[in-house]
């Protein structure tokens, strides 16, 4: 990733690359260690580094926490470049936490009841999730969102996120090709199906439901 031609970032970074919540090889065989190394250590690090460089010129925003920064930039068309970097940092941190080793299965309690009332059974939800991910043209994300008492699926392009518009995300799945190409080549549906069946962290989704 090529950073904008700006002065070097401060020695003390405003934002840092958060550690993965598990080892790089913990999501095998769905996502291999090489994928996580490149995705987290290069792609996400690039967003963090570029964000810090851009914030050198945005003193009024520099102290904002990441989520507040994303929301503030989403409302300002002059700060699209800053939004893209900040949102991608937030999106990736959310994505890593949407997965866990030996994940998958089904949610419990109130979340399961809400999922059934919104989609039908778990199989219907999975089918809708995969179909939405396949339908997203190009790079982007698919989100499970709690909106006005129901669960809905939203897809966004590039760095966009429903969180920037005040919506409550429960889960997020990265469908940029670099997220899955080494392990699944161009088979996005296979990757998303495996994400749901073997990696998704329903405990994280339940925490976000509140």
d(CA 117, CA 151): 9
In tens, the pLDDT along 32-76 reads 999 999 999 999 999 999 999 999 999 889 999 999 999 999 999
Tokens representing residue 24 in the block = 């790089």
Local structure of residue 99 (DSSP, 8 states): B
Q: What is the pLDDT of residue 59?
A: 86
Which residue bears the tokens 């790089």?
24
Q: Over 60: is that where the pLDDT of 13 sits?
A: no
Question: What's the predicted TM-score (pTM) here?
Answer: 0.92
Domains along the chain with CATH numbers: 30-210 (3.55.40.20)
Helix (H, G, I), strand (E, B) or coil at 155: strand
Q: Cβ atoms within 10 A of the Cβ of 179, count?
A: 24
d(CA 107, CA 105): 7
Q: Taking residues 90-115, report their average pLDDT.
A: 96
d(CA 8, CA 104): 42
């Amino acid at each position: 990733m090529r950073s904008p031609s700006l002065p070097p970032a401060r020695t003390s970074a405003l934002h840092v690359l958060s550690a993965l919540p598990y080892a790089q090889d913990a999501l095998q065989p769905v996502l291999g260690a090489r994928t996580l190394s490149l995705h987290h250590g290069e792609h996400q690090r690039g967003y963090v580094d570029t964000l810090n460089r851009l914030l050198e010129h945005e003193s009024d925003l520099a102290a904002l926490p990441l989520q507040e920064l994303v929301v503030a930039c989403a409302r300002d068309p002059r700060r699209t470049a800053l939004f893209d970097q900040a949102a991608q940092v937030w999106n990736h941190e959310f994505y890593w936490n949407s997965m866990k080793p030996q994940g998958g299965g089904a949610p419990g309690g109130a979340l399961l009841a809400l999922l059934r009332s919104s989609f039908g059974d778990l199989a219907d939800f999975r089918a809708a999730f995969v179909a939405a991910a396949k339908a997203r043209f190009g790079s982007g994300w698919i989100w499970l969102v709690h909106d006005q008492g129901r669960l809905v699926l939203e897809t966004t392009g590039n760095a966009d996120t429903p969180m920037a518009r005040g919506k409550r995300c429960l889960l997020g799945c990265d469908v940029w090709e670099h997220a899955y190409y080494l392990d699944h080549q161009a088979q996005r549906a296979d990757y998303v199906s495996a994400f749901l069946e073997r990696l998704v962290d329903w405990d994280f989704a339940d925490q976000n439901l509140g």
